[in-house]
Structure 1
Amino acid sequence: MDKIALVIGATGQIGQAAVPALARDGWEVRAASRHPDGVWPAELGVREVRLDRGDDAQLAAAVGDGVDVVVDAVGYNAGHAEQLLKLAGRIGSAVVISSAAVYADTAGRGLGGDFPVPITEAQSTMAPDDGDYATRKVALERALLDAGDALPTTVLRPAAIHGPRSEFLREWYFVRRALDGRRHRILAHNGENRFQPTATANLAELIRLAAAKPGSRALNAADPDAPTVREIGAAIHAVLGYEAEEVLIDGPPPMGAVGETPWSIAHPFVLDMSAARRELGYAPVTGYTESLPATVDWLVSQARERQGGDAFPRLNELHGVDFFDYATEDDWLAQRSNR
């Protein structure tokens, strides 16, 4: 009898990597999303299911008489955990995507706090509540992990997710600069910021392994490397064959958001992957630089389809910063050259 996997959020960035990984590993996959769009090759045998996650009846129908594993790529609060737990009798196990944003440093600060390098799963987390994204993810985790054997759940904690098919890919910061012909790559803090990346291909591999080995645990989900933002910018422009003069600022942005990037956090944020190797036998399938060509190609193709300009405005919206305020950059560069 085939093993059945239900993937919630199947057409999103994570789902589009997880679905084929599971199908090629012998799972019969039900790909659930609000807008099924037939993206799956016929040979994968994927069955598409229309699902609005907020509708309990639709979720119950997608689970049907039972599935061996539910992969939840979109759950983000305690209510979503309760939805799954109500169906625990028909679900063998779950793999749920949380976030490394759940971690708290000794002062109770989240991302941007002063963490050990690297961060293990023993690090404390924020208090669960409905206050923001991170605390909602904590509430999701706690509800599922506290359920124990009722629904064995592997919680995965990725950091800066990258890979095609996202509306707020951080890599757009450097790709757009190349497309716009910006001749300088300006980086605050000397470009030394480190914010752990997680390739969707590596996340899909962790999902595949966790689905095959159920258990109740929280595991970091990350690439084997954590490059500095300076290394990231150089690598993206190398993929594009684009040359820009690197301008390093010894300190914070000197004017507006000049030199600030989507990876700019106050202290290094690097994840330890020992537990995933030990518990799941995880080995990364790619590194950051090796995975870039597919991401960059997708961003460029989308920018062309969307007629250029800010083809991905959600990056600015997500961070609350105008990363492409070229006028301010030019003013600062002019002042710098006149010194």
Structure 2
Amino acid sequence: MVIGATGQIGRVAVGALARDGWQVTAVSRGGGRDATWPDGVGTARADREDGSALAAVVGDGCDVLVDTVAFGPGHARQLTGLAGRVGSAVVISSVSVYEDDRGRGFDTQTRPDGFPRYPVPLPESRRTVAPGPDTYSSRKAGLERELLAAADVLPTTLLRAGAVHGPYCRTPRELYFVKRNLDGRARRVLAYGGGSRFHPVSVHTLAELIRLAAVRPGSRALNAVDPDAPTVAEIAGAIDAVMGARVENVLVDGPPPAPTVGDTPWTVPHPVVCDMRAAERELGYRPVVEYARTLPETVAWIERRLRGREWREAYPKMAASYGDLFDYAAEDAWLAEHAA
């Protein structure tokens, strides 16, 4: 059973499990189905926030419950409440749960020198932030703690996802470069010399990890990222190649030179690059796709969403999360003064 089946991760996970021989029930608020799913996939309607509805669709039980939309301890308790009817679970978490040796994490990044300095690569043994109700990261940490503590009744594999990419994403980081290319921007400013690295993960990589964890139940937290961690400049170049665009990079040493100039959704002062050896060891994971190979479907999806619409209308959550990503006036003013 897959909760959040019509979301970005769930769509691909359902197909991967069904093609692997599982009898899959796809659970979503609308009860819909994806055209790519095999005919044998069943569907069910349930709101993730309604514990009674969730229990009802689980019914007499399932061998594996995949939850792509769990975000805090309350959701963890919903799942552990199904113990005895569920054999094991696979739940999506996030690399944002990590903190560094000085207590810095994603929640401190807006403070002076607040961005964490993680080891490269970052292993699962690093400590995590304190659970709490206030932020995405602290809620995910609470989710993990509850589920790992319930290992004796519900073995759960937690997948700490990096920067998720693929079609159906409501906050696609690739939008930053796709829209600029569509708008014919000839130059772009990249902070930190274009060298920022924030490890991505394809929905196809996540689906493979889910597929493997389904047949290898256990209680553990594993990193979930692609085999490669390209720099911002490499990501921009790969998107240019897909779109046939020729753009000049204007590289800035250090942080963004102005609030809306050179600050991409991947721009970080220190690398976030994760270690995948635990997944290889515990699940038998082997890479299935590299970042650049997945870009054509992602770019095509973004182009379709943008067609005939202002970007904030097409991606309202992106606008809410990142603010004005396309302040061309500020960018042009800075370029005129500093990169003529």
Structure-2-length-normalised TM-score: 0.95
Report the residue type matching 1:43 in the other structure: P
Aligned to 2:97: 102
Give the alignment's Cα RMSD to 1 decimal: 1.2
Cα deviation code 1:121-174 (max 9, x no counterpart): 000000111120001001000100111120000000011000111110000000
Percent identity, please: 56
Letter matched to residue 12 of structure 2:
A
Checking the alignment, whether the CA contact within 8 Å between 2:192 and 2:269 is kept in structure 1 is no
Q: Are the aligned partners of 1:85 and 1:144 in contact in 2 as well (CA < 8 Å)? A: yes
| Post-superposition CA distance 1:166-207 (Å, at most 9, x none) | 110000000000111111121011111000000000000000
Q: Supply the AA of the counterpart residue of 2:46.
A: L
5+ residue gaps, structure 1, are 1-5
Match status 1:68 vs 2:100? no
Partner of 1:43: 38
> Which amino acid in 1 is paired with 2:4?
G
Mapped partners of 1:230, 1:34: distance in 2: 38
State which of 326, 333, 336 in structure 2 corresponds to 1:334: 336
Find 2:295's aligned residue among 292, 295, 308. Answer: 292
- Within the candidate set 21, 32, 42, 1:26 is matched to 21
Query: How do residues 261-300 of structure 1 correspond to structure 2 at under 5 angstroms?
Result: 261-300=264-303
Deviations 1:88-129 (CA, angstroms, capped at 9, x unpaired): 010000000000000000011113300000000000000111
- 1:117 and 1:42 map into 2 onto residues whose CA distance is 37
CA contact 1:100–1:220 (8 Å) conserved in 2: yes
Please say if 1:241 is aligned against 2:244: yes
Q: 1:52, CA displacement in angstroms?
A: 0.3
Q: Which runs of 4+ in 1 moved over 6 A?
A: none
Kindly state the Cα deviation for residue 309 of structure 1 after the two structures are TM-superposed.
4.2
Aligned pairs, how many? 331
Q: Tell me, in whole angstroms, the C-alpha distance in 2 between the residues paired with 1:189 and 1:201.
A: 29
Q: 2:11 aligns with which of 7, 16, 19?
A: 16
CA contact under 8 A between 1:76 and 1:136: conserved in structure 2? yes
Return closer, same or farther for 1:309/1:57 CA change in 2, 3 Å cut-off.
closer
Residue 192 of structure 2 is aligned with which of 189, 192, 214? 189
The answer to whether the Cα contact below 8 Å between 2:9 and 2:68 also exists between their aligned partners in 1 is yes
Q: Which residue identity lines up with residue 279 of structure 2 in the other structure?
A: A
Distance across 2 between alignment mates of 1:102 and 1:251: 26
1:155 counterpart (143, 150, 158)? 158
- Kindly provide the amino acid, as one letter, of the partner of residue 33 in structure 2: G
DSSP-derived class of the 1:137 partner: helix
Residue 205 of structure 1: aligned partner: 208
**Which residues of structure 2 form unaligned runs of 5+?**
107-114
* TM-score, with length taken from structure 1: 0.95
Counterpart selection for 2:2 from 7, 15, 28:
7
Equivalent runs, 1:103-142 vs 2, <5 Å: 103-111=98-106, 112-142=115-145
Give the equivalent residue in structure 1 for 2:79: 84
Q: Which residue of 2 aligns with 1:217?
A: 220
The change in CA–CA distance for 1:243 and 1:196 in structure 2 (over 3 A counts) is: same
Residue pair 2:92, 2:160 contacting (<8 A) in 1 also: yes
